[in-house]
């Protein structure tokens, strides 16, 4: 099984103002003269982690990473004005142009896979290859699967669901996302923080194949939890700012881009059918269904991701 590359630090970190509200945190790692690759984090709203730099051979890749609007070190934190899928697509182009990159590989998991597909379909001429993990297409059934009473995730992680649903009174549970949004958008900081913690514990504790169902979620920083919960609820309420089935409908725009898709068979956050639907619509892509959950840290997923980035480096670097 292939493992992550060793830990590295950025050789360059900078701020990029993209409009009158938002300023992005951007970092570059690896080889400044290497094959450019863009890493797109999940969420939306979760921000970067140090291990995100390690999916790429640092001797062969120029690795570009950024915190999306309102996330991580980008400012203002948890800001939802001018924060849509298409604002983020424009940000990616702004970073590419600022960095002087003509074409690059795009790598994204979970929400990052959604954003990767949206970007590639709008700017296919800029994409050398795609590496996609934990596929999320933003369709209504996918949105309901994990967060609503008629979804399926609650039947798999009942202990965690019990904490998530307990935060909302019974008479508001017919639309959990809207009920959480009302609290996440409250003027009362304590109300916002409590809702964010409940939301983030439900999601953050459900990512790996093997885990303790009573362990807290991964978003221990309350401000990070608010960023994730508010941003996700904002995007979910607006159906990810996509037209129905848009990402499947527009596959022809990217069909010839070399692409690897990897998905955990037991991914509870983004069910396997989503990846199967994408692979069925896109038989030219290399599709791997592996014994794993949602997390890129699950060994079977890490193995395929490293193999995919190595193969693209062999092809282009």
Enzyme catalytic residues: 110, 267, 294
Evaluate whether 36 touches 101 at the Cβ level (below 8 Å). yes
Evaluate whether 92 touches 118 at the Cβ level (below 8 Å). no
CA atoms within 13 A on the CB side of 47: 23
Number of CB atoms found within 10 A of residue 253's CB: 14
- The Cα–Cα gap between 264 and 1 comes to 15
Number of CB atoms found within 10 A of residue 196's CB: 25
Enclosing H/E stretch for 290: strand 286-290
133 SS3 class: strand
- The Cα–Cα gap between 42 and 139 comes to 16
């Amino acid at each position: 099984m292939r493992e992550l590359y060793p830990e590295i630090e950025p050789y360059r970190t900078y701020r990029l103002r993209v409009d009158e509200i938002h300023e992005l945190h951007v970092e570059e790692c690896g080889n400044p003269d290497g094959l450019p690759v863009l890493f797109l984090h999940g969420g939306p709203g979760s921000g970067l982690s140090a291990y995100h730099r390690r999916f790429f051979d640092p001797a062969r890749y120029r690795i570009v990473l950024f915190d999306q609007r309102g996330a991580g070190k980008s400012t203002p934190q948890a800001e939802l004005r001018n924060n849509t899928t298409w604002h983020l697509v424009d940000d990616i182009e702004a970073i590419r142009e600022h960095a002087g990159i003509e074409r690059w590989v795009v790598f994204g998991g979970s929400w990052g896979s959604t954003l990767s597909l949206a970007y590639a379909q709008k700017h296919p001429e800029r994409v050398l290859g795609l590496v996609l993990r934990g596929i999320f297409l933003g369709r209504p059934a996918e949105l309901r699967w994990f967060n609503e009473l008629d979804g399926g995730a609650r039947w798999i992680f009942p202990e965690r669901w019990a904490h998530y649903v307990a935060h909302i009174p019974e008479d508001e549970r017919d639309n959990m996302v809207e009920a959480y949004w009302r609290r996440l958008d409250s003027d009362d900081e304590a109300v916002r923080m409590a809702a964010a913690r409940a939301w983030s514990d439900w999601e953050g504790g459900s990512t790996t194949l093997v885990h303790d169902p009573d362990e807290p979620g991964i978003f221990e920083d309350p401000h990070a939890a608010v960023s994730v919960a508010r941003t996700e609820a904002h995007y979910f309420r607006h159906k990810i700012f996509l037209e129905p089935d848009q990402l499947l409908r527009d596959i022809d725009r990217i069909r010839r881009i070399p692409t690897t898709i990897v998905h955990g068979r037991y991914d509870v956050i983004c069910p396997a059918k989503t990846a199967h639907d994408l692979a069925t619509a896109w038989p030219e892509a290399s599709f791997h269904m592996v014994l794993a959950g949602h997390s890129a840290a699950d060994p079977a997923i890490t193995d395929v991701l490293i193999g995919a980035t190595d193969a693209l480096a062999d092809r282009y670097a």
